[in-house]
Amino acid sequence: MDTHIALLETQVTRLGIVLEPSGDPAEAAGVLNPGATRARDGTLLLYPREVAAGNVSRIGLAAQSEGDGELRFIRAGVALEPAEPYELRSTPGGFGCEDPRVTFVPLIDAYVMAYTAFGPDGPRIALALSEDGYAWRRLGLADFSAAGLPRGDDKDAAFFPEPVISPAGVTSLAFYHRPMTHISAVDGHAAVPLILSMPARERELVRIAYVPLEPVLADPANIVKVAESVPVLEPASRWGRVKNGAGTPPVRIEEGWMSLFHGVDAEFDAGSRFTGLRYSAGIVIHDAERPHVVLYRSPEPILVPERDEERRGVVSDIVFPTGIDVASKARSYDVYYGMADARIGRARLALGASALEASDAQESAA
């Protein structure tokens, strides 16, 4: 999509590590990629992916703790333990519940969790609902069986909090997702040139799926039934060339819907030998009513792996935003992100003056 906002100033300030493995065997292989939301009493909740040996994942629960003025989180239990057939498997490679994103949807007065269920058929998008953010009820896998929809391995789902208009003109709830190609699982030496030779739209990228609103209002369980899906954020030529995927759920700003996404690039040494992949993050802004229209995307990443805890861990060179919370200052947000697949960091994102205001000022000057 063509962008319609020339430039949006952003400033990112790292605020340190907020969660890391505690010594519990359930967290031995990392604590990462958390969902985030506010409970009804205003308590900030995080939902970290906790990984045990063998890549077995569950979704934990951590609650904001008041103390000495520092933001801290205490473990408050487990949101989802792998239990359903689509979350379990006996073959090597692990299984479980991964990378949750949590959105409160006022029209159904419920919290919606979208997560990756890694089971016998591979990664799939699964959904759960909660009335309070603490106790969760599974709804099952997202249903992409309608004609023309992508099927198979899929990740990085995150819901918009309010209804939007689909490309077909239907009032719908919408969520990001990223169908997978499997090419990126090939050894990097072979995979990267092959991926980069493909048209951008054929690489892994952010799509938006649409669920008609009316059936969901009749029965929230219908939120699994996808009717449309369209690509919205092709890999770009400057960064995120290998693939991209959704990060945080969108939040409403004056310009439209804003969220952070991740982009992946290949790294090479001085001898042009492939050394690995680097995950960075940028922002995207969608039209408020029709989010398949992209108004802006970061021309350069706003967050890249720089610090030791972002460059070294279970998997090197990863910043992976998944949770977002409105900060006290206007146009300011706290972003919770995975650091090298090992721990969770927090960063403060400050947006400059509204791009709409800047555009009006330029027109007035002209």
The model's pLDDT over 244-272, given as tens digits with 9 standing for 90+, comes to 999 999 999 999 999 999 999 999 888 88
Record the tokens describing residue 3, joined without a space: 């962008």
pLDDT digits 0-9 by tens, 4-56: 677 899 999 999 999 999 999 999 999 999 999 999 999 999 999 999 999 99
Average pLDDT over residues 271-287: 93
Contact 127, 142 (CB under 8 A): yes
Query: Quick one: pLDDT band at residue 189, thresholds 50, 70, 90?
Result: low
User: Tell me, what amino acid is at 301?
Assistant: P
| pLDDT value of residue 63 | 97
Q: For residue 184, what pLDDT is reported? A: 63
What is the C-alpha separation between 202 and 235, in angstroms, rounded?
A: 9
Q: How far apart are CA 28 and CA 16, in angstroms?
A: 21
Closest CA to 118 of 153, 150, 156: 153
The dihedral built from the CA positions of residue 244, 353, 13 and 60, taken in this order, carries a sign that is negative
| Rounded distance between C-alpha atoms, residue 359 and residue 364, angstroms | 9
CA R_g for the chain: 20
pLDDT at site 86? 98
Report which of residues 358 and 253 the model is more confident about.
Answer: 253
Instruction: Answer yes or no: are the C-beta atoms of 79 and 61 closer than 8 Å.
Output: yes
356 pLDDT higher than 70: no
Beta bridge partners of 3: none
In the chain, where are the structural domains located? 10-365
Identify the pLDDT of residue 186: 64
Report the percent of the chain where pLDDT is more than 70: 93
pLDDT at 363: 47
What is residue 2's predicted lDDT score, i.e. its pLDDT? 44
pLDDT at 79: 98
> Residues 223-240: pLDDT tens digits?
999 999 999 999 999 999
What was the pLDDT predicted at 187?
66
How high is the mean pLDDT of the chain? 93
Of 82-86, 175-179, 309-313, 352-356, the one with minimum mean pLDDT is 352-356
Q: What's the pLDDT score for residue 364?
A: 45
Given this structure, which CATH class describes domain 10-365? mainly beta
CA 73 – CA 70 distance, rounded (Å): 10
What is the structure's pLDDT at 167? 98
